[in-house]
Structure 1
């Protein structure tokens, strides 16, 4: 990638103040106490950058919500949306539309195995919601298993599947969801000595959960191929294959959630490609068109598609396969192929981000572990490298979260927009980030981590 660094327009603080005032008067923000937030008024974005009305530029090391895989304002995607809007802006999902069919064909061409049918949704949570519904109808069973370290979305079934604390306020406790511990060698629930032992014990634990819950009651196991928001956790070799074997043994539908990990984020089109595992259902969103127009979906295996060959699938969305969203997907996938963006993500991770982050870890007492693939990395921040005590308590808020807040503020003062969650900072820039931009971001991280070091013992 050789994209030049963009230059924002002339500062316009008065316009920025008006934008923020309108936001504060009328916009109700997600996951927020409304009177305690101060949203940044953004004036524009391009490539790996965005900027405010005061002229401050930020290198987007969060890809917004880990979704602008192709970067901001990619001209080919913008042009495709404009062209589609001028030709056919919208049409109900029951019609055959050229751009919808082409988006489905391209996605099916990329997904592993026989996942050749695509049910379109508006985003990732709805994709998970419908995957669970398909699994329950296909098997005639009701229970669904998912990991504690996970995030699957905020709709009814998806939030119950979620393992992180965002589930708690909406947990019905009666949704048929059972949580289990997935592998995480750095913070092992199984007292494992290494990755191989972590894999073996995690699979034994899952087999026990299946046995005690009753295999005949379990419709699906839902896993993020690489756990995203809950820590960028790379599964140990053999784990996903072991889950696939357990699902096959008991007739359980295996669902891989690739909403965050898919479409180049890990340096492959799908994270499952790293391990050669084929699920029965695969959910996607985010990177499919970098969020330029909301789009998600479920890629469906032949076996599950056959269940609904002559039996109606009882689900649908007004905007399923929206022409503007599908046009953005077609343009995104085409550009990623033509510009070798997935290959670039793999290379920048292997040659720049991975080595750079490991060097940073050696210099900072607050960095306990570095893990990742492609442009999907996390630094696990600790008070003590020996004990691995997290820098802040689990689900910390207020004063308890001060060390992470100090670190995030230090990043932003230096022109870097970080992705921070609990005691971790994730390094998740666009797949198109240049080597120079990646090194610039790493240098800022290096400086900003001194703010976290101050809280170490």
Structure 2
């Protein structure tokens, strides 16, 4: 009898899950949703985060009301904007922390992915997959200097992990130099290079051999190289973001990156540039390395690499470095890295960046944006400490975290999304699509000015 009851319960559960799945799929299928649909989606989203995802997000996100019963829930996007389930439109100046360089759902990226999907979604893992070879050739052509061979990943932290392993295999050295305020990801190897203590402490000890020195301090970098050599812990590589993103849009001092390159050459170490956030046109050049006329040995890409449509990343390296993986290409692999859909998206993305001159546009529009923000912040020096950036990678630093949060929340309420959270808002980031219009820039600036006037220092 008990067996029958258990089976009946399982059957009822299957029926309930199936009905729920079908409802969700029917909502995805709809071109337009009703107010009733929107209310159901909002409730299910809030309840789902509380009960099955992570309730911490409900207090962390500025999009959630204080009692956690209502939240702005995203539903659709295009161009430089997205809409919530209730149809409210937002200019996206967060851009997934730099994902949407070519905009949201650019038609050419979507077409490339859907065209590829019509004949193959994922690769067999055994035959040679053509788009991987073609994308690698394109990267060899557009990356700085003699970077040549590519390994494909699904995310930024995977790209950094691959770069660290590649550096270790190249020289068999195990010491790495990173910098304070660096962010390279949260998987174990990447986290070892990341500098933020809040992310590191719960997982100590991390991968041994990492040294952190102040970003921009070339003398401390030099002394660290010398000390490591003296104690027999020669440096395998230096890993740097050319412009620090998570750290607060920190620009390097003049000649700093060139001097780091010289130190690496002097001590036989590799230079890894983490361009997960700065790459793909964000800073006014296709790669930030070009801004500073420095060629790294290994270049890490992700975020915007998949065109805001597919998760995709890459590591591009010089042949001398990469050839340590030639004898056994299975020393480092990932099942979905370089899959046909991701490669199609990346190829289309690079094409758009070139055809629409988006890196060059980012330089021009970014300078205008930066100057207008600075003008708007005049007479608010008691609130805004500094506004800085390169291209369309802009940071607004406040005197206090609370001010940054209030400004980002105020802008969100007025239809502008910027990067500022409850726990890290001293510097908010502005990283819109590179094709953002001047009219949209002006709207962002006027909203910023309005919010500043209402926020109390």
User: TM-score range, shorter-chain basis?
Assistant: 0.7 to 0.9
Q: Does 1:346 align with 2:363?
A: yes
4+ aligned runs moved over 4 Å, structure 1? 25-30
Aligned residue runs from structure 1 range 417-436, under 5 A? 417-420=417-420, 421-436=424-439
Match runs of 1:18-417 below 5 Å: 18-26=40-48, 33-34=56-57, 36-37=59-60, 38=64, 40-164=72-196, 165-183=198-216, 202-214=217-229, 216-312=233-329, 314-350=331-367, 352-365=368-381, 366-382=383-399, 391-392=400-401, 402-417=402-417
Structure 1 contact 93–319 (Cα < 8 Å) conserved: no
Q: Secondary structure at the match of 1:321?
A: coil
Cα distance in 1 for residues equivalent to 2:143 and 2:251: 20
Match of 2:19 in 1: none
1:203–1:239 contact (8 Å) kept in structure 2: yes
Is this contact kept in 2: 1:12–1:53, CA < 8 A? no
- Offset, 1:54: 1.8
Q: Give deviations 1:185-223, integer Å, cap 9, x for gaps.
A: xxxxxxxxxxxxxxxxx1111111222233743211100
Distance (whole Å) between structure 1 residues aligned to residue 280 and residue 308 of structure 2: 12
Against the structure 1 CA distance between its residues 25 and 92, is the aligned structure 2 distance closer, same or farther, given a 3 Å change threshold? Answer: farther
Say if 1:140 and 1:451 are closer, same or farther in 2 by CA, change over 3 A. farther
Q: Which residue is 1:193 aligned to?
A: none
Q: C-alpha deviations, 1:262-293, integer Å up to 9, x for none? A: 00100100000011101110000111123311
RMSD between aligned alpha carbons?
2.0
8 Å CA contact 2:109, 2:307 repeated in 1: no
Q: Which segment drifts farther, 254-263 or 306-315?
A: 306-315
User: Structure 1-normalised TM-score?
Assistant: 0.85
Provide the secondary structure at the position in 2 that maps to 1:438. helix
Name the CA distance, whole Å, in 2 between partners of 1:443 and 1:152. Answer: 34
5+ residue gaps, structure 2, are: 1-30, 65-70
Change (3 A) 1:443 1:155: same
- Does the CA contact (< 8 Å) of 1:93 and 1:320 recur in 2? no
Mapped contact 1:93–1:322 kept (Cα < 8 A): no
Question: CA deviation digits over 1:95-145, x for unaligned, max 9?
Answer: 322222222121221111111110001111000001001111111111211
Return the offset for 1:26. Answer: 4.2
Partners in 2 of 1:94 and 1:116 — Cα distance?
Answer: 23
Which string of whole-angstrom CA distances, capped at 9 and with x for unpartnered residues, describes residues 161-187 of structure 1? 11123233223245322111012xxxx
Q: Which has the higher helix share?
A: 2
Query: Cα distance 1:422–1:374, how it changes in 2: closer, same or farther (>3 A)?
Result: same
- Of 18-27 and 288-297, the range deviating more from structure 2: 18-27
Asked if 1 retains the 8 angstrom alpha-carbon contact of 2:149 and 2:318, the reply is yes
Contact map agreement 1:145 1:180 (CA 8 A) in 2: yes
3-state DSSP of counterpart to 2:331: coil
Kindly indicate whether the alpha-carbon contact (under 8 Å) linking 1:225 and 1:256 is maintained by their aligned counterparts in 2: yes
In the TM superposition, what whole-angstrom CA distance separates every residue of 1:50-74 from its partner, at most 9, and x where no partner exists?
A: 1112221111011122211011111
Q: Give ranges in structure 1 of 5+ residues lacking alignment.
A: 1-8, 184-201, 383-390, 393-401
- Residue 25 of structure 1: CA displacement? 4.4
Local SS of the residue matching 1:116: strand
Displacement after TM superposition at 1:43 (Å): 2.0
Tell me how far apart the structure 2 counterparts of residues 412 and 146 of structure 1 sit (CA, whole Å).
34
Instruction: Tell me if the contact between 2:176 and 2:210 (Cα under 8 Å) persists in the aligned partners.
Output: yes
Measured in 1, the distance between the counterparts of 2:126 and 2:337 equals: 9
Q: Is the 8 A contact 1:58 1:416 kept in 2?
A: yes
Of 280-289 and 172-181, the range deviating more from structure 2: 172-181
Distance 1:371 1:36 in 2: 29
User: Greater Rg, structure 1 or structure 2?
Assistant: 2
